[in-house]
Structure 1
Amino acid sequence: MEAAAQYSLEDDGAGGERLVLSGSYLISTIGFVDHELFDIEGPLSAIDVSGIEQIDTTGAYIAVRLASEHDAEMRCADPSIQRVLNAIDRTGHRADLTPPRIAVWKRVPMEMGQKVYNARSGIYGVIGFFGQILLGFASLLRHPSRFPMKALVRQMELVGVAALPIIGLMSFLIGVVIAQQGAVQLEQFGAEALTVNLVGRITLRELGVLMTAIMVAGRSGSAFAAQIGTMKLTEEVDAMRTIGLSPIEVLVIPRILACTFMMVLLGFYASMVAIVGGAVVGQLALGIPFFTFLERIQEVVPTYDLWVGLIKAPVFGLIVALAGCYHGMQVKGNSEEVGKRTTLAVVSAIFAVIVLDAFFAVFFTEVGWG
């Protein structure tokens, strides 16, 4: 039977104390005294372990640590115990745990350069993923019977029909805000009537499609990444490959087609609802009759403003779907990766949409649709 771990404090005759350890200092017995040992204030001149009957690495670590903290001499008569103590002592280190830090004016450029350099792997990955999608489309064109029509219809319902209420509410409020704030500013110049022009052009050309793309990125893009990422973790994607199904054809292509097509309808729907919101403000605050506001929209808004929005919409939908599906397919390891990739999908999609919107603004201005 193992003896209990014991200790005592004895006068060393020089004004200090000597800690005497006895019994068994094993992982199964040390728990009764370790807190008390580390509560000893000292000073200790020596730690005598000659009375220890059995010791393991846990007990040896306690003894070595006590000797180090009190700068005490270790006294041991048993060679076998001394070997254990020496082995534990050699594994310890007294190095500075805080590594030296590079100066901030060097560290920041280095970190930025490393991130830019690492971005190339992401670019290669996106290009490769887009290539897989093109190959998947080509395969479906050769074998139309494999086209996942039910999955496409389901995704169109989730991306488009289910999003109508929230996008409609958002667009209506945007139209209200634009009309109200625009009228306040134009009133200073006696041009409140131009509120119609402001609401019609900015919603059809810019905000209707842009805000819809941001909403779809947060709603559907994140869902794509989370759904596909979870399937990767549960090995459902690998199971599809095992039974001869292509994950690109079954999971990715229906989502990309649904998001690209439904963005056109959602963008147009959002613009119309925003105009209705502006017309409500015109009726209540500006004295412009509701239907007069709508008729005036047809007169002051060029047709190409509508085409600008409709051209941008499918491109934005493609970007959102690509970001969601790509990051979903990159999930591996653990569930934390799902959250990380979902966040990256939303952030990268919104960033790409805004950058492309700026590009389209310059492009359409150059071709005379400004």
Structure 2
Amino acid sequence: MAQVTPNHAPQLEQDAHDPGLIRLSGTWTLKTALAAAEVLRGVPDTLTGIDATGIEKMDSAGVLQVLRVAHRADLGEDALQFRPDHQALVCTIEEVADDRPRPKRDFGVLAALERLGVSVHATGHNIKALCSFLGENLVKAARLVKEPRRFRLTATVHQMEQVGLDAVPLVALLSYLVGAVIAFLGSTILRDFGAEIYVVELVNIAFLREFAVLLTAIVLAGRTASAFTAQIGAMKAREEIDAMRTLGLDPIDLLVLPRLLALLVTLPLLTFIAMIAGLAGGITVGAFDLDIPPQMYIARMHETMEVRHMLVGLSKAPVFALVIGLIGCLEGLKVEGTAQSVGERTTSSVVQTISLVIIIDAFAALWFMHMDW
């Protein structure tokens, strides 16, 4: 037994029936830290538990000393006993009290290859899940043709308003500004050659083929895909989707298909609006910076514009709509039931959607150029 000191100094004694159990008492504070350290020298090698309910007064220094002894002996939480009024302090100090050596993380080539392998495997798994989800939605959509009564018209129109109508000001403004920037940057180079008039062709081709649909898709990827994931994820966390299945309702019919149909309808329309806004930005720069009157700009645009450029841009819109809708809804259905999971899936939804949209657009641009379209 450790020597007992007066004035409520730290004390330690071994249990008579269980030599591995020690009982602490007295005052364990910063002022008595040296005495407490001396007392703790009497901790047996076969320590199995610590009973600190006899400690009258304790601060963070005392808690730290007790917890470090417990961690060195690899004691679990059930082997530690504290007074209820000390428990909050113990929980606060517990995270920093563990001074056991931690294994060093390997930041070498092997660790980088391991992370790369995990990322590739996760990407393959996500692509497989996305293809499976696409197939499931195609089957449910085909069933709607046979059974039109399953079609949720009200939900689809509501999603069209949120996805399409509410996004018109943002898409139009951004497209107008980007069109103006493209025209201005092109003019700074073409002016040196006295070819400012070719800014018209530059803006036309850039916006009709690429920028309008890509900018619209990126805006909806950040605005709509995240909203889909958060909405469906919140329902999953509140077990509303499980309740739907219990009632015999199909979440795909109720939640996913209306959103997909809304995107398939509104994204091409928003792309067309973005084309007009981008061309308007070019007209503005032509009028104020290049001294090209709007009438001349429009006449030049009419002479050089080819419908195939617009068709190339519009043909990408349904594909991007499917990507945005499928990933947004799929990530929402993957939510595990916590608020943290909702946030993680929402972030993942936006990152995956924007990345996949840009990748598809790059390959599509190369393919259309190779086909001379």
- TM-score class, shorter-chain normalisation, is 0.7 to 0.9
Which of the residues 353, 359, 371 maps onto 1:355? Answer: 359
Contact map agreement 1:171 1:271 (CA 8 A) in 2: yes
Contact map agreement 2:226 2:328 (CA 8 A) in 1: yes
Label 1:290 to 1:34 Cα distance change in 2 as closer, same or farther (>3 A): same
Partners of 2:24 and 2:31 lie apart in 1 by 10
> What secondary structure does 1:292 align onto?
helix
**Per-residue deviation, 1:57:** 2.5
Label 1:329 to 1:201 Cα distance change in 2 as closer, same or farther (>3 A): same
> What secondary structure does 2:297 align onto?
helix
Contact map agreement 1:268 1:310 (CA 8 A) in 2: yes
Partners of 1:31 and 1:353 lie apart in 2 by 66
1:137 aligns with 2:131: no
Q: CA offsets, 1:141-179, max 9 Å, x none?
A: 221111001111111111111111111110111111111
Label 1:264 to 1:222 Cα distance change in 2 as closer, same or farther (>3 A): same
Label 1:56 to 1:103 Cα distance change in 2 as closer, same or farther (>3 A): closer
* Percentage identity across paired residues of the two chains: 38
Moved over 4 A (4+): 18-22, 29-32, 45-49, 59-63
Which of the residues 25, 30, 40 maps onto 2:34? Answer: 40
Residue type of the partner of 2:334? Q
1:126 aligns with 2:123: no
Corresponding residue of 2:302: 298
Normalising by structure 1, we get a TM-score of 0.79
Corresponding residue of 1:190: 194
Which of the residues 275, 287, 291 maps onto 1:287? Answer: 291
Contact map agreement 1:203 1:271 (CA 8 A) in 2: yes
**Per-residue deviation, 1:271:** 0.8
**What's the Cα RMSD here?**
3.3
**Per-residue deviation, 1:108:** 0.7
> What secondary structure does 1:331 align onto?
coil
Residue-pair matches, total: 325
> What secondary structure does 1:287 align onto?
coil
Corresponding residue of 1:101: 105
1:212 aligns with 2:216: yes
Corresponding residue of 2:265: 261
> What secondary structure does 1:293 align onto?
helix
Which of the residues 37, 51, 56 maps onto 1:57? Answer: 51
Residue type of the partner of 2:34? I
Q: CA offsets, 1:56-85, max 9 Å, x none?
A: 62359989x67x97xxxxxxxxxxxxxxxx
Partners of 2:339 and 2:25 lie apart in 1 by 36
Corresponding residue of 1:344: 348
Partners of 1:218 and 1:298 lie apart in 2 by 34
**Per-residue deviation, 1:37:** 7.0
**Per-residue deviation, 1:31:** 8.8
- Return 5+ residue gaps in structure 2 as ranges: 16-22, 44-48, 56-61, 70-78, 81-97
Note the 1:70-85 alignment, pairs <5 A: none
Residue type of the partner of 2:254? V
Which of the residues 223, 229, 239 maps onto 1:225? Answer: 229
Contact map agreement 2:200 2:301 (CA 8 A) in 1: yes
Partners of 2:197 and 2:106 lie apart in 1 by 61
Partners of 2:236 and 2:141 lie apart in 1 by 22
Contact map agreement 2:26 2:54 (CA 8 A) in 1: no
